[in-house]
Amino acid sequence: EPEVTQTPSHQVTQMGQEVILRCVPISNHLYFYWYRQILGQKVEFLVSFYNNEISEKSEIFDDQFSVERPDGSNFTLKIRSTKLEDSAMYFCASSDSGGSRNEQFFGPGTRLTVL
Amino acid sequence: QKEVEQDPGPLSVPEGAIVSLNCTYSNSAFQYFMWYRQYSRKGPELLMYTYSSGNKEDGRFTAQVDKSSKYISLFIRDSQPSDSATYLCAMTPSGSARQLTFGSGTQLTVLP
């Protein structure tokens, strides 16, 4: 069964460093998303991406964040200068373009720890 | 008022029990409703997807949506220890590339 994959599973970084989180969405999907979940809190939407541009973004997704689809399979989230409060699980999701459905399938997540 | 409210539990039931999980919401624009299951330190796994009001059944799972009351439910019949997880409701205003708004999740334990 096709699935969303994410690497790395755990990333530890120093405050102020740049990190890139990687995702491989399901191959025939065209819509891509990033969400985050701070420990013990809700899953929160960050950004959606379609046709090589951002469709929607939340207020969390400020200038420190960027997304890119560098090739036909990868989808990345970059945090330019990490802060302590960026420590969270980051989930990538994808959905297909069929009709009006928006079934989003999630990857296993990357645990980001900022020291 | 939070957009989506969900009782965090924890909820503990004996094996074989019927489980009822619920969410309420305030945004009348929500049209699509989902239930995800999340095991500890894993990604959310899509269980059920429904549009507008009504019921949808899939095996031991039944999802109900009552838009007039802004209330959605997930029922699990014949619950199993493997159903022990956190259940998240999620919803979105429309079907194409719209952000999901999640509830806080209900932690369920099914005791053997």
The answer, for A3 touching chain B at a CB cutoff of 8 Å, is no
- The pLDDT assigned to B9 comes to 84
Q: Which residues of B touch A (CB under 8 A)?
A: 32, 34, 36, 41-46, 49, 88, 90, 92, 94-105
Cβ proximity of A8 and A90 under 8 Å: no
- The pLDDT assigned to A98 comes to 46
Provide Rg for chain B, Cα atoms. 13
Does B36 contact A4 at a Cβ distance shorter than 8 Å? Answer: no
pLDDT digits (tens, 9 = 90+) for A28-60: 898 999 999 999 899 999 999 988 999 989 999
Token readout for A49 is 């991406």
Distance from CA of A49 to the nearest CA of B (A): 8
**Chain A residues within 8 A of B97 when measuring between CB atoms:** 31, 48, 50, 55-56, 95, 102
pLDDT digits (tens, 9 = 90+) for B72-111: 999 999 999 999 999 999 998 875 557 899 999 999 999 9
List residues bridging with B45 in a β-sheet. B37
- The pLDDT assigned to B95 comes to 55
- The pLDDT assigned to A103 comes to 84
pLDDT digits (tens, 9 = 90+) for A57-108: 999 999 999 999 988 789 999 999 999 999 999 999 998 864 556 788 999 9
CA A58 centroid distance within chain: 13
H or E segment to which residue B33 belongs: strand B32-38
Give the C-alpha separation, A98 to A94, whole Å.
12
Strands (E), A28-109: 31-37, 43-50, 53-57, 65-68, 75-79, 88-95, 105-106
DSSP B16: T
Give the C-alpha separation, B70 to B3, whole Å.
11
Does A35 contact B100 at a Cβ distance shorter than 8 Å? Answer: yes
CA B52 centroid distance within chain: 15
- The pLDDT assigned to A97 comes to 61
CA B34 centroid distance within chain: 6
Cβ proximity of A26 and A105 under 8 Å: yes
pLDDT digits (tens, 9 = 90+) for B62-78: 999 999 999 999 999 99
pLDDT digits (tens, 9 = 90+) for B13-58: 999 999 999 999 999 888 889 999 999 888 999 999 888 788 999 9
Distance from CA of B83 to the nearest CA of A (A): 18
Give the C-alpha separation, A82 to A62, whole Å.
12
